Amino acid sequence: MSEVRLQSPGRLPLDEQREHLMVRIAKLYYELEWTQGDIATELGLTRWQIGRLLTEAREIGVVRIEITPRVMRRTDLEVRLQQDFGLKDAVVVPSGGAADSALLTERVAQAAATYLAGLMPKPGLIGVSWGRTMSAVARFLPNNWNPGVHVVLLNGATNLRSTSSHSNAVAEEFARAGNGSATLLPVPAIVGKRSTREVLEDDPVIERVLKLALEAEIVCFGMGGMNHQSVLLGNGYLDAAGMDTLRDAGAVGDILGRFIGEDGQIIDSSIDDRTVGMRLQHLKTKQRAIGVVAGEDKHQVAAAALKADYVSVIITDEATALYALDNHNRGRAG
Alpha carbon distances (Å) from 220 to 35, 145, 167, 170? 28, 15, 15, 11
Cα diameter, the chain: 61
- pLDDT of residue 145 exceeding 70, the answer is yes
Query: The whole model's pTM is what?
Result: 0.83
- The percentage of the chain sitting over the pLDDT mark of 90, rounded to a whole number, equals 70
| Contact between residue 47 and residue 36 where contact means Cβ atoms under 8 Å apart | yes
Roughly what angle, to the nearest 10 degrees, separates helices 170-177 and 132-140?
A: 10
What pLDDT sits at residue 298? 96
Nearest one of 169, 124, 111 to 315, comparing CA atoms? 111
What pLDDT sits at residue 13? 61
What pLDDT sits at residue 164? 46
Q: What is the pLDDT of residues 67-83, one digit of tens each?
A: 555 567 899 999 999 99
Range 1-71 has CATH code 1.10.10.10:
yes
| Contact between residue 167 and residue 131 where contact means Cβ atoms under 8 Å apart | yes
Nearest one of 250, 276, 274 to 264, comparing CA atoms? 250
- pLDDT of residue 272 exceeding 50, the answer is yes
Q: Counting beta carbons within 10 angstroms of the beta carbon of residue 250, is it exposed (0 to 12), middle (13 to 18) or buried (19 or more)? A: middle
Mean pLDDT lowest for which of 86-100, 177-191, 203-217? 86-100
What pLDDT sits at residue 317? 96
Q: What is the mean pLDDT of residues 177-183?
A: 96
| 3-state secondary structure (DSSP) of residue 67 | strand
Q: What is the mean pLDDT of residues 267-282?
A: 96
Alpha carbon distances (Å) from 330 to 2, 281, 304? 33, 25, 14
What pLDDT sits at residue 111? 95
Mean pLDDT lowest for which of 101-110, 152-161, 200-209, 274-283? 152-161
Check whether the bond before 121 is cis (ω within 30° of 0). yes
| Contact between residue 240 and residue 233 where contact means Cβ atoms under 8 Å apart | yes
Mean pLDDT lowest for which of 102-106, 232-236, 247-251? 232-236
Query: pLDDT class for 36, splitting at 50, 70, 90?
Result: very high
262/157: higher pLDDT = 262
| Contact between residue 45 and residue 120 where contact means Cβ atoms under 8 Å apart | yes
Query: pLDDT class for 100, splitting at 50, 70, 90?
Result: confident
Nearest one of 139, 144, 142 to 170, comparing CA atoms? 139
72-333 adopts what CATH topology? Rossmann fold (3.40.50)
Q: What is the mean pLDDT of residues 13-27?
A: 85
- The yes-or-no answer to whether 1-71 and 72-333 have a common fold is no
Domain spans in the chain, listed from the N-terminal domain onward: 1-71, 72-333
- Reported as type and span, the H/E element at residue 255 is strand 253-255
- pLDDT of residue 16 exceeding 80, the answer is no
